[in-house]
């Protein structure tokens, strides 16, 4: 069977986006620049570090592009993401998750040889296993104790349980206790601003209160990290928090934009109209290219056009007027940027309607 002819469909710098094959994932670099410039300035003004969450990007080319703007390192959800960033020369890494099992512990210990790696723990037996792996590989892994501040996912309880675990971790060889993580993921999309603020501040206050209890035992706490795109300003305002870890703010999506309109939407999927009839047209990308995790995507730049539904390979759009013609290009804004990045293998950085960069998304489709 002959190999597919992909060379003619690859984007190249200088092309207009209307010349690209579709579906194609696009990233508006002017919007990215504005988003990053704004939040880094806010972080400096408030005295907190801004660590960019790589799970929203999964693309080391985009990470290297962002690194030039001066963020305070990157945070990852998965070990493969941290390894990819280290391969790309980015070494200030937080793995905001628990690593369990001998294979991952060994990989993490080896990764610590070539990076400043920090890992979260919420279980003493897991910490002991991580310690043993680090000792075997002759490396040191920095540790944050994860505290459950209301998400009811991972993390030890606020207060005494966190204090006890922190003190135990500090005694283990091959590990270096650095501080606390408390992520308020359950609050990120709360539509009411005041409600989101009140709950976020309460969680961050509890996290900092735990910091104070640990410090009262004589154990220093250098890092207190949390927050996301939806809660960044609240968490950053709490004295005792040292850094925030938003990720979606870089490229944004239609769902996050409703609660954080200060960030521009940079991520879109370029599609082509493949069919039309009165009141409706059909695009050549569906749920396999556009995540609908947080709701129905939106059509960019066409007021009044409304996405009716997504099938696997088609998006059906209702329109009150004539609508576009077959063969026209239409951009769609996803409602979940992280999941949409995970559906694609390449992305195209564009500026003023032209291709500036083409990057592989190395970590898409990986779960290790």
Same structural domain for residues 234 and 346?
A: no
Residues 74 and 151 in one domain: yes
| Domain final residue pick, 212, 228, 251 | 251
Percent of the chain with pLDDT over 70: 98
Alpha-carbon gap, residue 9 to 143, rounded angstroms:
45
What value does the mean pLDDT take over residues 279-292?
96
Same domain, yes or no, for 241 and 306? Answer: no
Residue 256 forms part of a structural domain: no
CA–CA distance, 367 with 55 (Å, rounded to integer): 11
Give the DSSP letter string of 147-163: B-SSS-SS-BPTTHHHH
Residues 129 and 80 in one domain: yes
Tell me the sheet residues that pair with 116. Answer: 92
pLDDT, residue 3, reads 46
- Report the number of distinct structural domains present in the chain: 2
Question: 124 to each of 50, 73, 164, 171, 209, how far by Cα in Å?
Answer: 29, 27, 10, 11, 21
Residue 1 falls within a domain, yes or no?
no
Range of the domain at 134: 30-251
On whether both 88 and 169 belong to a single domain, the answer is: yes
Q: End-to-end distance of the chain based on CA atoms, in angstroms?
A: 32
Whether residue 2 has pLDDT greater than 50: no
Q: Do 20 and 95 sit in the same domain of this protein?
A: no
In a domain, residue 4? The reply is no
DSSP string, 204-232: HHHHHHHHHHHHHTT----EEEE--TTTH
Token pair, residue 218, equals 């004589």
**257 lies in a domain?**
no
> Which two three-digit tokens encode residue 28?
């508006």
Answer with the one of 211, 227, 251 that is the final residue of a domain: 251
Asked if residue 265 has pLDDT above 50, the reply is yes
User: 93: domain CATH number?
Assistant: 3.20.20.10
Which of 251, 285, 300 corresponds to the end of one domain? 251
Would 41 be classed as within a structural domain? yes
Domain presence at residue 130:
yes
CA distance 140 to 223: 17
**Following DSSP, what letter does each residue of 228-241 receive, concatenated?**
-TTTHHHHHTSTT-
What is the per-residue pLDDT for 4?
Answer: 46
352 domain-assigned = yes
If you average pLDDT over residues 21-27, what whole number do you get?
Answer: 98
Question: Is residue 222 domain-shared with residue 315, that is, in the same domain?
Answer: no
Q: What is the pLDDT of residue 65?
A: 98
Shared domain check, 356 and 317: yes
96, part of any domain: yes
Eight-class DSSP state of 144: E
pLDDT at 97 over 60: yes
Q: Give yes or no: residues 185 and 294 share one domain.
A: no
Determine contact, residues 92/112, Cβ cutoff 8 Å: no
Residue pLDDT, tens place only, 191-207: 999 999 999 999 999 99
Q: Are residues 23 and 69 in the same domain?
A: no
Supply the pLDDT for residue 5.
45
Work out the number of other CB atoms within 10 angstroms of the CB of residue 216.
9
DSSP 8-state assignment for residue 336: -
Q: What is the pTM of this model?
A: 0.94
How high does pLDDT run on average in the chain? 96
Sheet strands (E) in 122-186? 141-146, 175-182
Choose among 325, 312, 314, 331: nearest CA to 271: 331
CATH of the domain at 306: 2.40.37.20
Q: With bands split at pLDDT 50, 70 and 90, how would you rate the model's confidence at 312? A: very high
Q: How much is the pLDDT for 9? A: 66
The stretch 271-279 carries a mean pLDDT of: 97
């Amino acid at each position: 069977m002959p190999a597919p002819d992909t060379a003619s469909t690859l984007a190249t710098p200088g092309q207009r986006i209307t010349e690209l094959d579709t579906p194609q994932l696009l990233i508006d670099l002017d919007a990215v620049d504005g988003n990053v410039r704004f939040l880094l300035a806010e972080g400096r003004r408030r005295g907190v570090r801004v660590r960019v969450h790589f799970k929203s990007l999964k693309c080391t080319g985009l990470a290297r592009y962002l690194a030039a703007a001066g963020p305070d390192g990157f945070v990852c959800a998965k070990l493969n993401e941290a390894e990819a960033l280290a391969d790309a020369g980015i070494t200030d890494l937080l793995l905001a998750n628990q690593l369990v099992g001998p294979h991952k512990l060994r990989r993490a210990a080896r990764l610590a040889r070539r990076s400043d790696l920090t890992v979260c723990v919420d279980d003493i037996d897991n910490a002991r296993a991580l310690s043993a792996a680090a000792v075997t590989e002759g490396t040191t892994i920095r540790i944050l104790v994860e505290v459950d501040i209301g998400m009811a996912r991972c993390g030890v309880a606020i207060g005494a349980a966190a204090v006890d675990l922190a003190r135990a971790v500090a005694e283990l060889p091959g590990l270096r206790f650095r501080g606390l993580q408390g992520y308020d993921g359950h609050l990120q999309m709360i539509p009411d601003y005041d409600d989101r603020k009140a709950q976020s501040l309460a969680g961050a206050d509890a996290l900092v209160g735990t910091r104070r209890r640990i410090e009262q035992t004589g154990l220093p706490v250098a890092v207190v990290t949390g927050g996301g795109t939806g809660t960044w300003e609240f968490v950053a305002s709490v004295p005792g928090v040292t850094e925030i870890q938003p990720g979606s703010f870089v490229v944004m999506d239609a769902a996050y934009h409703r609660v954080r309109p200060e960030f521009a939407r940079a991520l879109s999927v370029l599609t082509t109209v493949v069919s039309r009839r009165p009141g409706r047209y059909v695009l050549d990308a569906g749920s396999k290219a556009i995540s609908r995790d947080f709701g129905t995507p939106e059509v960019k730049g066409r007021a009044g056009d409304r996405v009716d539904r997504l099938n696997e390979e088609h998006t059906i759009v209702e329109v009150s007027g004539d609508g576009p013609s077959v063969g026209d290009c239409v951009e769609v804004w996803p409602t979940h940027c992280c999941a949409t990045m995970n559906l694609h293998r390449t992305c195209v950085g564009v500026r003023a309607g032209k291709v500036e960069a083409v990057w592989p998304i190395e970590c898409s489709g990986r779960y290790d």
